[in-house]
Structure 1
Amino acid sequence: MPALRILVADDHEVVRHGVRALLEGRPGWEVCAEAADGRDAVEKAVQLKADIVILDIGMPNLNGLEATRQILRVLPQARILILTMHESEQVVREVLEAGARGFLLKSDAGRDLIAAVEALQRHKTFFTSKVAEMVLDSFLKSKPRPADEPEREVLTPREREIVQLLAEGKSTKEVAVALGLSVKTAETHRSNIMRKLNLHSISELVLYAVRNNIVQVVQPPAEKQTV
């Protein structure tokens, strides 16, 4: 099996080296390149066809969110993990909107980085417990469930399949290939889903999928308490 190719991008050299040191201890993982800004990250990710790209959200020249969008336009199969010092609801929404499927605070990287990369390697999403709770609480407040109809029953089984694939970061074309549909049919399904659920962005779709257990949010194990 070929090595998992990981690109690490952060404008602080000490952060890049620390992340590399954590990752290179894992058998089968290879840090294929480092980048100090967003534009360099996009170029290297595309050139080297990185499997997983770890991006600082606040890099110069091109921020991590826009770098995520540009990488995924060319490499839709890549999985993006965003590193940040901030954990506001707005930042989390922007990360999901850009197409990243992992969100990790730099302060938690020493403890959770390996678990985050393992989750993305398995095509799962990753939020630390605090961020996951914040995202779900926000969604529950903004999208109240009708008392007489559970949301999961709004969609057909086929539509739920499509929601899962879209929430995992697949493009409409990739959904069509995976399900044996024409691209036009997949686009029609996507439009119908967004209309049925009254959703207006991919971030809202991901949050719906998380809330209804259509996609799995991988969380690190709880820390052991000593007495």
Structure 2
Amino acid sequence: MKIVIADDHAVVRSGFSMILNFQEDMEVIGTAADGLEAYTVTAKCRPDILIMDLSMPPGESGLIATGKIKEDFPDTKILILTMHDDEDYLFHVLKNGASGYVLKNSPDEELLLAIRTIYSGGTYIHPKMATSLVREFIKKDKSIQSEDPLEQLSKRELEILPLIAKGYGNKEIAEMLYVSVKTVEAHKAKIMEKLNLKSRPELVEYALRKKLLDF
């Protein structure tokens, strides 16, 4: 594995280079002191793995460089190595193409595991940060579900929707549910409005997609 290390501290670059070069399957082929230099070295060396620090003052930060490098050199996998155990940093760099996130205070074995994991096509997240990632995923999933227009329908509207989709007329539905035809018509209008549907075919298609015909 050909590796480039980007960190603003020379002692950190030297220390990690010694650890990685000691491995039979790893070789450090370049180093950089900030994001801009990391881009230049990546363009020149085309490493398999780029180990990137997030904060590298006064030069360009790893946050900015990650997106640029991943866009222009997609074959280079980026492993973030940082002191920041902040989930906002984690989400940002993952969205910008990073394949892994490891804290600097992690043992050497974890760094080596992370490198080998992302080299083989996987994603590695420090266990402490992985918990935050899962928690955020669950929160976003619930948010997406709550935005489903189907949840805006009342219990009665949920009863009427599949009946309309199955082809029953207003009078038939009224008799089934022991309500007036006008009530059915009013509910039907509200269903169409809430689901932003314009015609019965659209309603049937929606019901099929949501698996409501057996409701």
Question: Structures share a fold, TM > 0.5?
Answer: yes
Q: Under a length normalisation based on structure 1, what TM-score does the superposition of the two structures give?
A: 0.60
1:192-211 correspondence runs (5 A):
none
- Following superposition, the deviation at residue 142 of structure 1 comes to 2.5
**Which residue of structure 1 aligns with residue 70 of structure 2?**
72
The whole-number CA distance in structure 2 between the counterparts of 1:95 and 1:18 is 24
For residues 21-63 of structure 1, the C-alpha deviation after alignment (integer angstroms, 9 at most, x for no partner) is 1111111311001111111111001111111000100013211
The whole-number CA distance in structure 2 between the counterparts of 1:21 and 1:103 is 21
- Structure 1 residue aligned with 2:23, among 18, 23, 26? 26
**Which residue of structure 1 aligns with residue 85 of structure 2?**
87
What percent identity do the matched residue pairs reach? 35
- Structure 1 residue aligned with 2:130, among 129, 132, 140? 132
**Which residue of structure 2 aligns with residue 213 of structure 1?**
none
The whole-number CA distance in structure 2 between the counterparts of 1:91 and 1:41 is 19
Q: Under a length normalisation based on structure 2, what TM-score does the superposition of the two structures give?
A: 0.63
The question of 1:43 aligning with 2:36 is answered no
**Which residue of structure 1 aligns with residue 14 of structure 2?**
17
The question of 1:123 aligning with 2:121 is answered yes
The whole-number CA distance in structure 2 between the counterparts of 1:119 and 1:139 is 22
User: Structure 2 counterpart of 1:49, which letter?
Assistant: R
The whole-number CA distance in structure 1 between the counterparts of 2:73 and 2:114 is 20
The higher radius of gyration belongs to 2
- Matched residue pairs, number? 144
The question of 1:110 aligning with 2:108 is answered yes
Other structure's SS at 1:108 match: coil
Query: Structure 2 vs 1, CA of residues 42 and 109 (structure 1 numbering), >3 Å: closer, same or farther?
Result: farther
**Which residue of structure 2 aligns with residue 54 of structure 1?**
51
For residues 94-117 of structure 1, the C-alpha deviation after alignment (integer angstroms, 9 at most, x for no partner) is 111211010010111524110000
For residues 137-168 of structure 1, the C-alpha deviation after alignment (integer angstroms, 9 at most, x for no partner) is 12112322859xxxxxxxxxxxxxxxxxxxxx
The whole-number CA distance in structure 2 between the counterparts of 1:11 and 1:79 is 20
| Long gaps (5+) in structure 1 | 148-227
Segments ≥4 residues shifted beyond 6 Å: none
The whole-number CA distance in structure 1 between the counterparts of 2:36 and 2:10 is 16
| Long gaps (5+) in structure 2 | 147-215
Other structure's SS at 1:107 match: coil
Other structure's SS at 1:31 match: strand
CA RMSD of superposed structures (Å): 1.6
The question of 1:141 aligning with 2:177 is answered no
